[in-house]
Amino acid sequence: MAELAAMKETEPCYTYADMLQWDESYRAEIIDGALFVADPPATYHQGIAVELAYQLKGFLKGRPEKVYPGPFGVRLFPKDDLSDDTVVEPDITVICDLSKLDKRGCNGAPDLIIEILSPSNTQHDLVYKFNKYLKAGVREYWTVDPESRSIQVHILDQTDKQRSRYITSLYDLEGPGTVPVSVLPGCVIDIKAVFTE
């Protein structure tokens, strides 16, 4: 999610049913019922998000999978009675199973989630959301760090059936110059283009 400088954590009590009553322009997430409100994203953040979405969209042209830039609601643990208490808005979401989509977003774990870090949201994305995405079974989670101009790729280890864990790789401008997208075989992201200002 974008800048969280004005993030305010409240007493855990909100559900998806509550969110449906809010103005759609109100950009917020709930994690375990706690409310997190975001400031508008910074210019550099938007530039990175646009470039990533552009490259993914280009690869997906003519294919059934879909890419959605934020704001885009993801109910990680949807319940029929709308009482689920974790709804996030990743910066970029890729969905391979289109049956998870409805008119408001995604119900269940997307295949790829990308979050762009900022000084105010690092812990939010690297701890809270990381653990929720892992628990929900998000197959691939990227954290993009504009400061170090690097991308951490977390791929769900599907060989260990006893516990959930991500296998993490780091990509930066010193490496091969591309980042492979595990859930979209053949898709690679030009990392230099992502960090070009």
Whether 33 maps to a domain, the answer reads yes
Give the number of other Cβ atoms within 10 Å of residue 79's Cβ.
Answer: 13
Is residue 181's pLDDT more than 60? yes
Residue 179 · residue 168 · CB < 8 Å:
no
Cα dihedral 38→124→110→184 (10° resolution): 110
Closest CA to 74 of 43, 49, 95: 95
**Can you read off the two tokens belonging to residue 77?**
């643990």
pLDDT-derived band of residue 10, with 50, 70 and 90 as boundaries?
very low
Is residue 182's pLDDT more than 90? yes
Whether 3 maps to a domain, the answer reads no
Mean pLDDT, the chain, integer:
89
- What pLDDT digit, counting tens, does each position of 79-93 carry? 999 999 999 999 999
Tell me which amino acid residue 28 is.
Answer: A
Give the domain extent around 144: 16-194
Closest CA to 44 of 106, 113, 118: 118
The confidence score (pLDDT) of residue 12 equals 57
pTM for this predicted structure: 0.90
Number of domains in the chain: 1
Give the integer Cα–Cα distance in Å for 45 and 190: 17
CATH code of the domain covering residue 39: 3.90.1570.10
Is residue 183's pLDDT more than 80? yes
Is residue 176's pLDDT more than 90? no
- What pLDDT digit, counting tens, does each position of 108-165 carry? 999 999 999 987 777 778 888 999 999 999 999 999 999 999 999 999 998 877 788 9
Whether 151 maps to a domain, the answer reads yes
**Can you read off the two tokens belonging to residue 180?**
């492979």
Whether 147 maps to a domain, the answer reads yes
Whether 10 maps to a domain, the answer reads no
